[in-house]
Amino acid sequence: MLSFSGTNRAPSSPASPAASPVVTPARVVIVTTVMLTFISFWRAAAVVLSDLASTAYYIGGIAEQAVGRSAPWFILGVMIFSYAVRSVYVESCSMFTRGGVYRIVREAMGGTMAKISVSALVFDYVLTGPISSVCAGQYVHGLADSIFRHVAGHQLPVSSAAFSVIFAIGVTLYFWRANVRGIEESSGKALRIMQVTAGMAVVLILWSLITMALRPGGVHLPPLAVVPDPAMREQTLGWLAHVPALATLTPVLILVGFGHSILAMSGEETLAQVYREIEAPKHRNLMRAGLVIFVFSLTFTSFVAFASVMLVPDAIRAHYHDNLLNGLVLSLAGPSALKLAFQTVVVLVGALLLSGAVNTSIIGANGVLNRVAEDGILSDWFRDPQHRYGTSHRIINLIVAMQIFTILASGGHVYTLGEAYAFGVVWSFTFMGLAMLMLRRSYTGERGWKVPLNPRILGREVPLGLGIITLMLASAAVMNLFTKKVATVWGIAFTASLFLVFTVSEVLSRRRAQATAATHSAEGHLEKFILDRCTDLQPDVLGLPAEGRRVLVPLRDPGNLAHLRRVMEEQPPGSAGVVAMTAKVEKGDAAFQHLFTSDEERLFTSVVSLAEKYGARIVPIVVPSNNAWFAIARTAHDLDVDEIVLGRSAALPPDVQMEQMVVTWAMVADGKGKPVKLVVGCCVG
């Protein structure tokens, strides 16, 4: 927790405008305890599965177009292998509370490789949104077409590609607006979506098994042989199609099929991002979450792939590659009306999952790019808060613009997006594995768990298990370079372009920092602050008087301090009980490493100006947390305040703010302590 104990200036009162302030920098106390709310392993698993489970809706069709009817076997292999890849992330989390590709690669390989890896990761996020939203559009179009045929007797008069593009852009713009406004998704909502998904999956699996049992002559498992569709040979083998000696080798074909199916385990990066919020015992609950993720994704994704090949006739399945579950549901035994009703359920659940993945992609990319900006690689201009909502709107605008361009460029074709998406997925995993291998030798800090298979040879531990995983990932990544033309060209171009932007921006940022000693704000300058550290937040730490009224005023935007100004006007002369607080909310790839940035400097400068204007002492504090409401309630409880004054929010109406604050306060206070007055804008509770 970072706190600010007030100005060390002699404030100039309104009655004495000529008073000369002492130019001693204001003192800032950094309290290292971070206020966090924690979630169960069930909720953590739900957050990851909201991204990972959505691949079940499109991986079967993409893989089959590439490797033929043997695709389910490759998907099964990838889902089993995902447990091994997840173990790499588990080890990284045991070393760094916030692991993730960017942090690990920077720690192991330095800044240059970190910029390359984060470029590939951003490419992954940029593709996650379009493939999810376009796929959701394909499913909605398929449902509408089925209803149209059932009611009107003919197909929907709109092509699936055009409908998917329009639908995908609409979904992306919806989540763009939500993220600019700062409306966040909760782990509770993710858990409810996954509960509905699990119920749908159980019905689908049981109904499919009954259909298999009722089929005359039974059903047959897909063939093990890799037989790519001759019409798709060029797309499947890429440049290898011109090298017959390699294109016919079974090991090469197996690796090709594995590479085309590897995006089935996209979403592993989310596990590293959510780890900090998992409740104690953290490692045990992380392993439990990993097991839940593995069992669900293995069962659901693999079964859908097998059932689709076993139940949907080849000629019909070819028309459902972009919305395979629609084809599977319509091939089940039973009356048409019942199947249409269940198709509606499957599509609605899929729309929730896939749309949620769009939101996850924007949040993930925003978190990564904010972290890059905080490290000085991107200009602070990108992080300037939106004047009304206080969000990093320029980064969000950039991400969404790239996603909409990708949607338009794809023409609504899921296969094209899947090919490109695989590039970011496999190279992010590969960089992670290579970095973890290097850290096995160079990292000397605490490591609570290791990927298994670490025999000692000649007295030295050999990371055999981690090495095998990394070798398999690297092999698939290299093979994809030769077999996925679109992905290779666009992936390398995007990664190189973003790397160039990072490099140039970093150089310019350094020059700018050297050329100016102080950044000018709208008022003309930024205050300088002295940073001290402590480990607890108590009234005496902040120098609050033992007697007198204490008021907590949460802040966010230096341009929206009306409620703090009103509190200062109502304070009696000589009072020193006003605490101005801002919550430093860190989620995604952030790790509370940049607690005192230009954002806090600008906010504190405005607070110092108010303190000087009213001639009263203000105690501003910054509380790092993963939940702003919890941070406010916990701070008010720890400081034993008498009143909490919230400003008007552009995103939430006052009654919602008040309800959220009351619920959180009840959780923190647990029925103990004195009554606290709550003021929201003009509403008092």
Backbone angles phi, psi at 150, to 5 degrees: -70, -35
- Most confidently modeled range among 24-28, 344-348, 510-514: 344-348
User: Each residue of 144-154: b (16+ CB within 10 Å) or e?
Assistant: bbbeeeeeeee
CA distance to 3, 5, 375, 531, per residue, from 28 (Å)? 6, 6, 21, 5
Q: What is the pLDDT of residue 531?
A: 55
In a domain, 374, yes or no: yes
Q: What is the pLDDT of residue 155?
A: 81
pLDDT average, residue stretch 5-11: 42
* DSSP at 425: H
| Terminal Cα distance for the chain, rounded | 28
Do residues 202 and 348 share a domain?
Answer: yes
pLDDT average, residue stretch 389-412: 91
pLDDT average, residue stretch 414-422: 90
Report the chain's mean pLDDT, rounded to a whole number: 84
List, for residues 235-264, the tens digit of each pLDDT value.
Answer: 788 888 888 877 778 888 889 889 989 989
Do residues 425 and 400 share a domain?
Answer: yes
pLDDT average, residue stretch 445-467: 91
- Picking from 551, 537, 542, the residue whose alpha carbon sits closest to that of residue 646 is 551
Q: What is the pLDDT of residue 542?
A: 77
Number of alpha carbons in the 13 Å side-chain half-sphere of residue 75: 33
- Picking from 365, 293, 295, 377, the residue whose alpha carbon sits closest to that of residue 89 is 293
- Most confidently modeled range among 206-210, 551-555, 662-666, 667-671: 206-210
Do residues 16 and 161 share a domain?
Answer: no
Q: What is the pLDDT of residue 1?
A: 43
Range with the lowest mean pLDDT among 288-297, 369-378, 657-666?
369-378
- Picking from 48, 156, 166, 662, the residue whose alpha carbon sits closest to that of residue 411 is 166
CATH number at residue 676: 3.40.50.620
List, for residues 123-151, the tens digit of each pLDDT value.
Answer: 989 999 999 999 999 999 999 998 988 88
Location of structure tokens 């016919």: 248
CA separation for the pair 58, 264 (Å, rounded): 9
Do residues 18 and 107 share a domain?
Answer: no
β-pairing verdict for 456-457 and 460-461? antiparallel
Do residues 189 and 308 share a domain?
Answer: yes
* Structural domain that includes position 629: 2-33+535-684
3-state secondary structure of 624: strand
In a domain, 226, yes or no: yes
In a domain, 551, yes or no: yes
Do residues 129 and 28 share a domain?
Answer: no
What are residue 278's DSSP bridge partners?
39
CA separation for the pair 5, 8 (Å, rounded): 9
Backbone angles phi, psi at 292, to 5 degrees: -60, -45
Do residues 394 and 539 share a domain?
Answer: no
Exposed, middle or buried: residue 208 (CB in 10 Å: 0-12, 13-18, 19+)? buried
* Cis geometry, peptide bond prior to residue 281 (ω within 30 degrees of 0): yes
CA separation for the pair 563, 634 (Å, rounded): 20
Range with the lowest mean pLDDT among 4-8, 22-26, 359-363?
4-8
Q: Considering 426, 450, 474, which residue would you say is the last residue of a domain?
A: 450
pLDDT band at residue 522 using 50, 70 and 90 as cut-offs? very low
CA separation for the pair 343, 337 (Å, rounded): 10
Q: Does pLDDT of 60 surpass 90?
A: yes
Contact by Cβ (8 Å): 160, 372: no
Q: Does pLDDT of 435 surpass 90?
A: yes
Q: Considering 434, 450, 466, which residue would you say is the last residue of a domain?
A: 450
List, as one string, the DSSP characters of 158-177: S-HHHHHHHHHHHHHHHHHH
Contact by Cβ (8 Å): 85, 469: yes
In a domain, 216, yes or no: yes
pLDDT average, residue stretch 511-518: 62
Cite the DSSP H helix spans in 312-392.
Answer: 314-317, 324-330, 336-374
- Picking from 97, 154, 130, 209, the residue whose alpha carbon sits closest to that of residue 592 is 97
Q: What is the pLDDT of residue 30?
A: 47
* pTM, entire model: 0.78
CATH number at residue 142: 1.20.1740.10
Helix (H) or strand (E) holding 332: none
pLDDT band at residue 594 using 50, 70 and 90 as cut-offs? low
List, for residues 185-235, the tens digit of each pLDDT value.
Answer: 667 788 899 999 999 999 999 999 999 999 988 899 999 887 766 767 777
Do residues 279 and 427 share a domain?
Answer: yes
β-pairing verdict for 2-4 and 618-625? antiparallel
List, for residues 371-400, the tens digit of each pLDDT value.
Answer: 788 777 887 788 777 777 777 889 999 999
What are residue 552's DSSP bridge partners?
579, 644
CA separation for the pair 367, 597 (Å, rounded): 15
Do residues 443 and 572 share a domain?
Answer: no
Q: Considering 450, 476, 496, which residue would you say is the last residue of a domain?
A: 450
Q: What is the pLDDT of residue 683?
A: 55
Count of domains for the chain? 2
Contact by Cβ (8 Å): 86, 270: no
| 429: amino acid identity, one letter | F
Do residues 171 and 120 share a domain?
Answer: yes
% of the chain exceeding 70 in pLDDT: 86
In a domain, 458, yes or no: no
Positive or negative torsion for Cα 377, 381, 382, 383? positive
Q: What is the pLDDT of residue 500?
A: 92
Q: What is the pLDDT of residue 599?
A: 77
| 630: amino acid identity, one letter | F
List, for residues 13-57, the tens digit of each pLDDT value.
Answer: 444 444 444 445 555 444 444 455 678 899 999 988 988 889 999
CA separation for the pair 551, 639 (Å, rounded): 10
In a domain, 436, yes or no: yes
| 240: amino acid identity, one letter | L
Do residues 368 and 349 share a domain?
Answer: yes
Find the Cα–Cα–Cα–Cα dihedral 437, 279, 185, 649, rounded to 10°.
-120
Q: What is the pLDDT of residue 63?
A: 92
- Picking from 53, 54, 65, the residue whose alpha carbon sits closest to that of residue 320 is 65
3-state secondary structure of 530: strand
Contact by Cβ (8 Å): 165, 411: yes
pLDDT band at residue 2 using 50, 70 and 90 as cut-offs? very low
What are residue 578's DSSP bridge partners?
551, 618
CA separation for the pair 285, 615 (Å, rounded): 51
List, for residues 620-636, the tens digit of each pLDDT value.
Answer: 788 888 888 988 998 89
Do residues 24 and 104 share a domain?
Answer: no
In a domain, 114, yes or no: yes
Q: Does pLDDT of 447 surpass 50?
A: yes
In a domain, 520, yes or no: no
Helix pair angle (282-311, 59-67), 10° resolution: 60
**Phi-psi category of residue 334: left, alpha or beta, with phi > 0 → left and psi -120 to 50 → alpha:** left
List, for residues 75-92, the tens digit of each pLDDT value.
Answer: 999 999 999 999 999 999
